[in-house]
Each structure stands twice: as C-alpha cells, then as structure tokens.
Amino acid sequence: MSVVELHKGLDNIIVKETVLSYVDGERGRLYYVGYPIEELVEKSTYEEVCFLLLHRRLPKKEELASFDRELKKEREIPKEVIDALNLMPRNAHPMDLLKAGIALLALYDPELNVHEKEANIRKSIRLISKTATLTAYISRYIRGLDYVQPSKEMSHAANFLHMVTGEEIDELSAKVMDVAFILHAEHELPASSMAALTAASTLSDLYSAILAGVAALKGPLHGGANEKALEMILEIGSPERAEQYVIDALRAKKRVMGFGHRVYKSYDPRARIFRKYLEKLSEVKGNKTLLMIADEVEKVMTREMKGKGIFPNIDFYSGSVFTLLGIPKEIFTPFFATARVVGWAAHVLEYWEDNRLIRPRARYSGPLDLQYPSVENR
C-alpha cells in the first residue's frame, strides 16, 4: 500500500451521490434539493424545508399541513425520559445530556428496528420534534429553571424559542429563529453527517446514526465554533478594540474565530443572511454592540486577508444572533444538532437506498516481522 495516495481528513473524497444539498464553495452558493438557500429563507419555513429534505420535493399545501400536524403531535417526550435526565448532573456537557436523551428516546420508539421507508420517515419526524423539546429542556435544566411544556399551536421555531426562554415570542424573533433552523438544516457531508452515514451503513437503526452525528458535532472544530466566535466578540468588548485584537491575533498566528471554511473559498451565504438578520434584531432590541464589533472585525479581516480566500462563515454572526434571541451559549451546539437532525436523517435515508458498508483503509507505516521477545527479555 506504499504507493496509495493518502487523503488526510478525506479532503475532496466523494463517498456518495446526493440530491439533498450542493455547496458551491467557489461562488459562495448553497442549495437544498436545487433551491437557493436565499429563496428558502425568505419564502419557506423550517417545517417545509424538513419535508423538502426528507421527500426531496416541495410539499403541496395539504401535504405541508399534514406534515406540520405530525411534527406538533410528536413534540412531547416520555415522562420516563425526563425522570432519567433529572438524575443526571446539571454541570454535565449539554451535548452529553443530549446524547443521553436521544439514546433514551430510542428505547420508547415502537418502530426503532423497523426499516421500511415509511417507518423511517415517521421516525425522522419524531426525532426532529422530540430533539427540539429535549434541547429546550436541557437548556433550562442546566440553569436550574422549570421545564416549559411544548405548545401544540406555535411553529417549530417559535415553540423551541418559547421553551428555551419561557417568554412570549414576537414575530421577528420567531422569523429569525426559523431562519436559523433553515440555515443549519443541511450542509452536504461535514464530519457529523459522515459519522451518521458510517453508523447507518452497518444497517444500524436511525437513532444510532443520529447519535453518531451528535457525537461528532460535539467537537469544537465542528459544532462549537459559533460559541468560540461569540466569546471572541465579547472579549473584544467594543468596536474600537477590534482592529488591534485582530492584528495581534494574526501576528501571533492565532485563529480569528468565525473566519475560513474547508469548502467555501468565498463568502459563506449563510453568514451573509445571518448578518442581515442580526442587523434587524439589533435595531429592534436596541443593542447594536455585538453587530458593531462583528462589523469592525470583518472589516479588518477583509483588509488583512485580501486575496487569501478567507471570509466569514456561518459561525461568525450566528452566536450574536442567538444571544439577542435569549439563547444561552451553552446550547449553541445542541441547537445546531437539533436543526441538523433532518439533514442527518435525510442523508441516511438516501444512503440506505443503495447501501454499502463504509470501510476505508489505513496506510500502514510501521515495521513488520518483528521477533517476539519473552516478557523477561523486554
């Protein structure tokens, strides 16, 4: 195997065909099932995007209404799951609590080991709805707050935000939350989607595949980047300090969080969308500090990184948006998982249509035919 080319990180290795999403990294474009993300954010809803990803087409009016009813019906989680989570330490990592919660939910799904297509769609709907409830519960549990029951009337996004904050949700906040769900729903094959596919390729169950995705997303190189970007903005503290902070970081060869992407070599379209809604939220909330700091950081980075293909990614603005919505930074990554459940599930369902066990190779670089010494002679 010495002549086999090594692809560390599986860079640019194609492992499946998909119609779910297309990331055009050179032009900074993102499509879900052929529809530009900008169109979906302005004209669609997360519920409709979930249908689009699971069925690979937009729903008719009555189909969307039925799908929405199913999502709302599945929001409750078993009392036994809540009771079990109440025994877990409040200082546990929220992603570990989320993993535990999803594993418990699997035990109460009557179709856990039923692999027919329609059963998998139904399980996907349960996972989308119940993971949102679970994440909202965790967000309050770790803060010592009472559980807010899910609504049977609100949209998916508004209900989630209501359960997290315990407050009435205004129209703009509901819209921004919905936009955040849409922007995080799918993004081809990052590490978490690949982890979900690897588990699914063994013909394990859908819950196990989603758990693999959650486990991979926990890592700070994947799901935790927006939290780090927000911490950087808070550390800077004011727009006047942004330029020196960025210059000092670049001179010290430190990463400026929220910039650069493995695929995008131009502006991440999701960051552009988040920037627009951050401006709207800042105006309504009467708090422009985070926006002003972020704008100044971007201005300096654009000047200093000119020609190097380093631009803001989704994480740069999303943390500030979540903060203005009242979402604690401890659940930024669990929210990411909550929104991405549909993308993971859709990839798994698509892969199972032409399943092949994922089994890559490693290039051996050690010695061979070593003589085995007895334990006395080592």
Name every residue whose Cβ is closer than 8 Å to that of residue 12 and which is 6 or more positions away in sequence.
none
CA dihedral angle for residue 105, residue 109, residue 114, residue 115, rounded to 10 degrees: -40
Least confident of 79-88, 207-216, 262-271: 262-271
Q: Is the pLDDT of residue 3 over 80?
A: no
pLDDT at 376 > cutoff 80: yes
Average pLDDT over residues 42-52: 98
Paired tokens of 20: 């779910």
Q: What is the 3-state secondary structure (H, E, C) of the chain?
A: CCCCCCCHHHCCCCCCCCCCEEEECCCCEEEECCEEHHHHHHHCCHHHHHHHHHHCCCCCHHHHHHHHHHHHHCCCCCHHHHHHHCCCCCCCCHHHHHHHHHHHHHHCCCCCCCCCHHHHHHHHHHHHHHHHHHHHHHHHHCCCCCCCCCCCCCCHHHHHHHHHHCCCCCHHHHHHHHHHHHHHCCCCCCHHHHHHHHHHCCCCCHHHHHHHHHHHHCCCCCCCHHHHHHHHHHHHCCHHHHHHHHHHHHHCCCCCCCECCCCCCCCCHHHHHHHHHHHHHHHHHCCCHHHHHHHHHHHHHHHHCCCCCCCECHHHHHHHHHHHHCCCHHHHHHHHHHHHHHHHHHHHHHHHCCCCCCCCCCCCCCCCCCCCCCHHHC
CA distance 140 to 300: 37
Q: What is the pLDDT of residue 226?
A: 87
Residues 313-327, mean pLDDT to the nearest whole number: 95
Contact call for residues 157 and 178 (beta carbons, < 8 A): yes
More confident residue, 132 or 220: 132
| Predicted pLDDT at 308 | 86
The answer to whether 205 is a known catalytic residue is: no
Residue 272 has pLDDT above 70, yes or no: yes
Provide the pLDDT for residue 225.
84
Is 254 a residue whose pLDDT tops 70? Answer: yes
Looking at residue 64, its pLDDT comes to 98
Residue of 315, 347, 354, 369 with catalytic role: 315
In a 13 Å sphere around the CA of 180, the CA atoms on its Cβ side amount to 33
Provide the percentage of residues in the chain whose pLDDT is more than 70.
Answer: 99
Yes or no: say if 297 and 256 are a contact pair by the CB < 8 Å rule.
yes
Packed helices 46-55 and 171-184: angle between N→C axes, nearest 10 degrees: 20
> 6-16, pLDDT tens digit by residue?
888 888 889 99
CB 256 within 8 A of CB 249: yes
Q: What percent of the chain has pLDDT over 90?
A: 88
pLDDT at 261: 86
Half-sphere exposure (Cβ direction) of 86: Cα atoms closer than 13 Å: 9
The per-residue pLDDT for 260 is: 86
β-sheet bridge partners, residue 21: 32
The residue-averaged pLDDT of 108-122 equals 97
Average pLDDT rounded to a whole number, residues 305-332: 93
Residue owning tokens 């009771």: 83
Contacts of 373 (CB under 8 A, 6+ apart): none
If you average pLDDT over residues 217-237, what whole number do you get? 91
The one catalytic residue among 205, 261, 268, 347:
261
Distance between CA atoms of 56 and 24, rounded to whole angstroms? 19
Q: Could you give the domains of the chain?
A: 17-220+327-352 (1.10.580.10), 225-325 (1.10.230.10)
Average pLDDT over residues 221-243: 92
223 pLDDT higher than 90: no
> What pLDDT does residue 2 have?
54
184 neighbors 336 (Cβ within 8 angstroms) = yes
Number of Cβ within 10 Å of residue 215's Cβ equals 19
pLDDT of 39 higher than 70:
yes
Kindly report which listed range (70-74, 140-144, 254-258) carries the lowest average pLDDT score. 254-258
Q: Mind listing the pLDDT tens digit for each residue in 291-308?
A: 999 999 999 999 998 878
pLDDT value at 365 more than 80: yes
Does residue 261 carry a catalytic annotation? Answer: yes
Using the predicted structure, report yes or no on whether residue 273 has a pLDDT greater than 60.
yes
